[in-house]
Structure formats: C-alpha cells, structure tokens
Structure 1
Amino acid sequence: MVFLHGLFGQGKNWTGIAKQLAERHRVLLVDLPHHGRSPWPERFDFAEVAAQVVATLPDDEPVTLVGHSLGGKVAMVLALLHPERVARLVVADISPVDYEASREFPGYIEAMRDLDLTQVERRADAERLLEPAVPDPVVRSFLLQNLRRDAAAPAGWSWQVNLEVLDRDLPVISSWPADELAAVAPYDGPVLWLAGGRSDYVRPAYDAAMDRWFPRNRKVTLKDTGHWLHSERPELFLEVLKRFLGD
C-alpha cells in the first residue's frame, strides 16, 4: 500500500493509518516532490510527479494506491498513465476536475512566506507569529509541520515545502490535466472514492468526470467530516478502507 499526502503535507501524515494496516500489508509513505525530504523540481507537472512516484514503487507487484487531495490527483494521474502499477485506487476527497485557484491555499502560502523566521527561536514563536494569518489551530499546526531547524539557513529555520514553485504553479495544481490525458484509456481497476460530508471537493456535479476516467469507482461519503477526513475521523476512514481491501 502506498500513501500520497495532500498539499503542504508529508508522508508521515499517514503514520497513524499506516500502523493499523502494517500487520497485513507492506506500507510505503511517500513525500511528494516539493514536499518533505523529496527533491524540488523547477516546476509542478502532474505527469512528472506521477513518474517520480512510480520510481519509488516496488517492481514485484502492483500496489494499492491511496491519495488525499493533491495526492489523490497525483494518484489518479499515475493510475491512468501507469495502470499496470496500480491494482486498486483510493481517492480521498478530491475529484478529476478543475478547481478555482483562489481557494484558501494562496493565503496559507502567503502566510508562510511572510513569516519572519529571524524572530523564531522555538516552534512556539512560529505558532504565535502565524496565528493572526492562520487563526485555525488545526490548520496552523498542520502548516508548521513543514518548518524545521536548519543550521545552513540564515535564520536557523527553513521550510521543507517549496513555497515559491507551489505559489507560482498553484493554477496547475488546482487544475486537472485533461488535455494531456485525452488519448489515455480510462483506468479499469477498482476505485474507492471517498468524500467528506462537510467538504465541497466532491460534488454530484463531478460524478460524470469521475465515471469518465474511473468507471469502476464506488463513492462513499463520510458524514460529519471535512476535507481532512483521514485525520478528522481516522477510525471511520480505516473501517471503510479495510472493507475495500477485503481485510
């Protein structure tokens, strides 16, 4: 099983879920390009990111690929371009459609870029400085997972996420590469399509696009759950995932 995180995330965000599955499955947590410990290419391109993820996959058998948000889009592109590498696909609270680039993410990028790291002696200082721009403590804590001590940086801290490229290429990240995939056949493997009941990333209007690319999809909505459904309701997420896996 291979897990792909969302924008501003890291592979370790899936640790809790992965531990629950590790007894029956080999588990791989991936840092997507521009995130965590992975390289920072010059641009964000879905096909290139998918190819870089493929390079981390085991060669001996196809995988169950699980992706949330941005990771879900990468997972879908990977399954379409490299179907022989994916036995089953789980897409968590994202759809194969274009989204408006002016959602909440530009504000998060601006807040992180504007944070004066020279004023940060300990992580609590960063928390305090980021609070006016990001008042939600859950989101703020999530973003600050990307801040690490860095002796080579002038301020002694640096961001693990490539803010410059993600900011510039946010319209690409928010889109779905339909033109590049126009000649690609639909993915015919089983697909679990999870939606947060309080999230608007999966809507009935998007069903046609999902059916076009992934005809064997089964949509399951997790009630009373927002966009970060696997961290908001991990027990329910895990239960639905295990049923899909046949565990």
Structure 2
Amino acid sequence: MHGLFGSKKNNRTMSKVLARDLGRYVYTVDLRNHGDSPHHHRHDYPAMASDVAEFIQQHGLKEPTLIGHSMGAKTAMALALQHPELVSNIVSVDNAPVDVRLASDFARYIQGMQKIDEAGVTRQADADKLLEPYEKSVTIRQFLLGNLHRPDPSQPVQKFRVPLSILARALDHLGDFPFKDPSEVRFTKPALFVRGTRSKYVADDVLPLIGQFFPLFELVDIDAGHWVISEKPEEFREAVVRFLEPKE
C-alpha cells in the first residue's frame, strides 16, 4: 500500500522482487482516491482499512502480510488492529500509530497541482515548470506528476487523476491515527517497523507506544529519508525477506 499521492505503480518493482524471493503472491493496491480506485468524499484510515479488508475477503486471501508505506503504513496498522483475524503480520514503512501534524509540504504540493489543473497543460515539461516553485526536488516532482493523465484521450490536456479537493480537505486528519488507547486494542502477531533514520515520522519517543499496540514488533533502521523503499531498495528487501522467511 502506497503513500499519499502514490499508486500501485510505485511498488511494482519491489513487489516482483519480493514475490520472487519469498515465493508468494504479492498484490499491489490503489487506495481510495488514488490510481485507478474510485473517488469518495471520505478519506480516512478506518475507511481505507475497510476497503483493504474487503479486498482481502473478495480475493479469498488467507493470512496475508500487509506492507504499507506512510499513509499505507497507517492503513495497514489500522486494519491489523481493527480486524486482526484477517492479517498474519504487517510491515509498516516509516510511520507510527500516533497523531502527528503532516508536513506543510503536502498542502504546498496540492496548491501546485491545482495550478497545473487550472493551466490546462499539454506537456509534462510545462507541468514540471509550474510545480517547481512548490517543490525543489526533481524526484518528488516526478513522483507527483506521475498522477497526470489525459481524461479525454482525444484531447491533449492533462489533469490529475487524484481528486485534489477531497485530499486537500482530508489533509488535516491524515496525520491522525484512529486508535488512541493500546490497553483497549492491540495486535499480538509479528510486526516489522522499518524507519528511515533521516525521516522524522518514527521518533525514538514513540517506540514505547508502538510496543504497546504491537507487542511483537521488530524495528529496522535504514539510512534513508521518508522514501525508504525507493532510496534504499536493497536494504528494504533484505529487511522484509528476513522478517517473513520461515523461522527455524
């Protein structure tokens, strides 16, 4: 499960590698309001967790592992706590079961993306120029512009596939975590938390709370920022394979 403004395409390469190394099927999903999934005015973790629970049941998946990055990580944690019977274990990538304020970057990205939508661009290079004042990193701009598509194939105008107005309204709550009290609910199966040591999303002071919600958790630190999987794919692959390989 991808993060905000991502899609299943982000995880295609890693999914193929994990399927090969683990000898397991890997399903990549588009969370609601992202990729090819339907748009809905409600965008929060209980709703996304319910969507994924339905996907698991519809496909008859038995004891699946949930792997999620960022927004996808909180979705995986929420589902594991909401329906532990559906899940065998989880891998949470650079997020924690706490309320945090989202970085102001995300609101800025939406402003830039709205400018592009209003401009009616026909070339990605023009969209990139419009986005540059809002985000200096070429890599992040390319990631965001991956959401552009032509709604009408007969017209050259490109628009964003994600519903920007819905996501803008959801931003205030996307840093929240729906479960507050680990004495009421916990996931007593294995959980791997992978954090980027140059990211601020999993601070040392939240580790005790992770342990209360997920008492069997393991922590792996990777020298990366928030985009752990794309920054250090080999270290990430090793951590996940080691966690999921059958134990002696």
TM-score normalised by structure 1 residue count: 0.92
Question: What are the residue-to-residue correspondences of 1:15-54 with 2, within 5 Å?
Answer: 15-23=12-20, 24-54=23-53
Q: Which residue of the partner structure matches residue 14 of structure 1?
A: 11
Secondary structure at 1:121's aligned position in 2?
Answer: coil
Letter in structure 1 aligned against 2:67: V
Question: What are the residue-to-residue correspondences of 1:180-191 with 2, within 5 Å?
Answer: 184-191=184-191
Deviation at 1:43, TM superposition (A): 1.6
Q: Which residue of the partner structure matches residue 139 of structure 2?
A: 138
2:159 is equivalent to residue 158 of structure 1: yes
Deviation at 1:184, TM superposition (A): 4.8
**Separation in structure 2 between the aligned mates of residue 171 and residue 152 of structure 1, nearest angstrom:** 34
**Separation in structure 2 between the aligned mates of residue 115 and residue 27 of structure 1, nearest angstrom:** 34
Letter in structure 1 aligned against 2:227: W
**Separation in structure 1 between the aligned mates of residue 26 and residue 102 of structure 2, nearest angstrom:** 32
Deviation at 1:60, TM superposition (A): 4.3
Instruction: Report if the CA contact (8 A) 2:34-2:162 is conserved.
Output: yes
Deviation at 1:206, TM superposition (A): 0.7
C-alpha RMSD of matched pairs (Å): 2.0
Instruction: Report if the CA contact (8 A) 1:147-1:160 is conserved.
Output: yes
The structure richer in strand per residue is 1
Deviation at 1:216, TM superposition (A): 0.7
**Separation in structure 2 between the aligned mates of residue 118 and residue 161 of structure 1, nearest angstrom:** 16
Q: Deviations over 1:146-196 (max 9, x none)?
A: 1111118987322111211111111211111135x7785200110000010
Secondary structure at 1:126's aligned position in 2?
Answer: helix
Q: Relative to 1, partners in 2 of residues 1:153 and 1:196: Cα closer, same or farther, differing over 3 Å?
A: farther
**Separation in structure 2 between the aligned mates of residue 17 and residue 26 of structure 1, nearest angstrom:** 12
**Separation in structure 2 between the aligned mates of residue 155 and residue 81 of structure 1, nearest angstrom:** 44
Unpaired runs of 5+ in structure 2? none
Greater shift in the superposed pair: 184-193 or 111-120: 111-120
**Separation in structure 2 between the aligned mates of residue 153 and residue 220 of structure 1, nearest angstrom:** 48
Question: What are the residue-to-residue correspondences of 1:168-247 with 2, within 5 Å?
Answer: 168-179=169-180, 184-223=184-223, 225-246=224-245
Q: Relative to 1, partners in 2 of residues 1:239 and 1:101: Cα closer, same or farther, differing over 3 Å?
A: closer
Unpaired runs of 5+ in structure 1? none
Q: Relative to 1, partners in 2 of residues 1:105 and 1:215: Cα closer, same or farther, differing over 3 Å?
A: same
**Separation in structure 2 between the aligned mates of residue 153 and residue 7 of structure 1, nearest angstrom:** 29
Q: Deviations over 1:2-39 (max 9, x none)?
A: xx000100011111111112231101000000101111
Instruction: Report if the CA contact (8 A) 1:117-1:155 is conserved.
Output: no
Secondary structure at 1:67's aligned position in 2?
Answer: strand
Letter in structure 2 aligned against 1:112: M
Secondary structure at 2:236's aligned position in 1?
Answer: helix
**Separation in structure 2 between the aligned mates of residue 218 and residue 158 of structure 1, nearest angstrom:** 41
The structure richer in helix per residue is 2
**Separation in structure 2 between the aligned mates of residue 240 and residue 216 of structure 1, nearest angstrom:** 16
Greater shift in the superposed pair: 120-129 or 150-159: 150-159
**Separation in structure 1 between the aligned mates of residue 112 and residue 238 of structure 2, nearest angstrom:** 36
Letter in structure 2 aligned against 1:107: R
TM-score normalised by structure 2 residue count: 0.91
Q: Deviations over 1:202-231 (max 9, x none)?
A: 1111112211211111111002x1000000
Q: Deviations over 1:56-82 (max 9, x none)?
A: 123241101000000000000000111
Secondary structure at 1:156's aligned position in 2?
Answer: coil
**Separation in structure 1 between the aligned mates of residue 7 and residue 164 of structure 2, nearest angstrom:** 14
Q: Relative to 1, partners in 2 of residues 1:99 and 1:153: Cα closer, same or farther, differing over 3 Å?
A: farther
Q: Relative to 1, partners in 2 of residues 1:102 and 1:228: Cα closer, same or farther, differing over 3 Å?
A: closer
